[in-house]
Structure 1
Amino acid sequence: MSRFPMPALTRRAFLASAAAGAMLPFRQSPAGAAAIREVRLRAAPGGIRLLPRPAGEVAAWCYNGTVPGPEIRVRQGERLRVEVENGLAEETTVHWHGVRVPHAMDGVPHLTQKPIGAGGRFVYEFEAVDAGTFWYHPHQRSFEQVGRGLYGPLIVEEPEPVRVDREVTWVLGDWRLTKSGAISEDFGNRHDIHHNGRVGNTVTINGRV
C-alpha cells in the first residue's frame, strides 16, 4: 500500500465509468469460500486520441488496449484474482492504490515483488476488504508509465449497493504533449520531482478530451 494512505472514497462521493471491462465470469468457489472475480490485464503499447481529426492517435501505453484501463468491479468480501501480462519492452508492476492487500500483492518493485519482466506474467490475488473507489497503476517507473497511460479504476461495491438513478465513473487524466502532438519524453525531470509531479497541458475524462 501507499506510504501515505488516503481514506477510501465511497461510491457516494465518486460515481462510476466508461472504461470497458475485461472481466471473466465469476468462478464458483467451494461452499463457505469467498467468490473469486478473475481479470486479465495486458500492459502494452497502444494509442489514444488526444488531438482533433485529421490528426491520428497519440502513441501511449494501455491496459487491454484502452486508456484508462478497464474498470475492475468487485463486491466487498470477494476475492480478486488479476493475471497481468507485460507486453512492454521494460519491467512493470501493478499497485492497488489505497487498497489493503497482503504485502506480496502490493506491487512495489524490488520490495514486495520482483518486477514483471518484458513478456512475463504475474498473478495478483487478494480479498476486497474495504468498499470504495480506488485505482490501479504501475509502481515501476510510475512517473513515466502512469504518464503514458497505464492506470484504471477499481470499484469495490458495498454488500448492499447504494441506490442511485445512474452510476458513472469519471477517470481524470492530464497529458503533457509537445507542439508536434506527441507525449513529451521529459519524464522524471528535476522540476517535476521538486514540484510534486508532472502537470500536463491536455486534460481527458475517461480517455476523451
Structure 2
Amino acid sequence: MALIGLCILVFASYMAGLSNKPVAEAFDKPQANLELRSDRQFRPVGAILILAIQSIAGSGNTNPEAYHLFGLAVHITTVLAVFLLAYRLMSSQNSALAVALIFALYPRHHEVVFWVAAYTHIIMTAYLLFSFNLYLKWRRVTKTRWLFISLILFVLAILGNEAAVVGILLFLMYELFWERDQLKADLKGKVLVLIHLLWPFVAVVLIYLSLFVIALGGGIKLCHKYD
C-alpha cells in the first residue's frame, strides 16, 4: 500500500505538466539516435520507444500528453527502483520510502520528465538501477539467471544513453565499501575477487567503448553537444 501511495503522490505532483507544449524538441527525427552520429552518440533504445509512441499517438507537437505521460511513467518506474535499492541496502521500509520520496520529488527532475529530448537519461537510469538491484539479488541468492538479467539490463542502459558506462563504478563501489568484509585482506586477493564478480560488466563496457573507437575513429563523448 505504501508503494501504491508513493506512485499516486508522484503522479499527482507531476500531472499538471502533462499538457505542457514541447520546447526545443525534434519529434520528427528520433531516428537520429539509431545512427552513429558525428557527436559520438548512439541511443537506439530511447529512439525505438519514442518512435513507438509517435506511431501510436502522432506528433508530440499536437499530442504532447502521450509523450509526457511516458516520461512520467518511466520516472515512477525509476522511483520504484530507488525504493527497492534503498530497501535492499538498509532493510528498512520507512527509510527506503523516505529515500524514494526525496528522489521522486526532487524539483530538478521535472526537466527529464517533461523534456522529450532528455528521455534517454531517465530511460538509462531506470535500466541501470534495476540492473544493480538484480545484481544485489544475485549476490544474495547466487542464481545465474539474476546475473544474466542484470547484465542484459546493463546493456540496455548503455544503449539508452552512453553515460551508463560509468555505472560500472556503482557496482565497484558497492563491493569495495558495502561488502568490504567479504574481500580478501591483501590487495591481490581483493582484485581477484572483484574481477570474478564484475568481469561480465567490465567486458560489456570495454566491448562497447572499443566498438565506438573503431566505428568513429575517436573517443566517446559522454555529454550532449548543443548547437
Using structure 1 for the length normalisation, give the TM-score: 0.28
Larger radius of gyration: 2
With a CA cutoff of 8 Å and minimum separation of 6, indicate the structure with the bigger relative contact order.
1
Higher helix share: 2
Higher strand share: 1
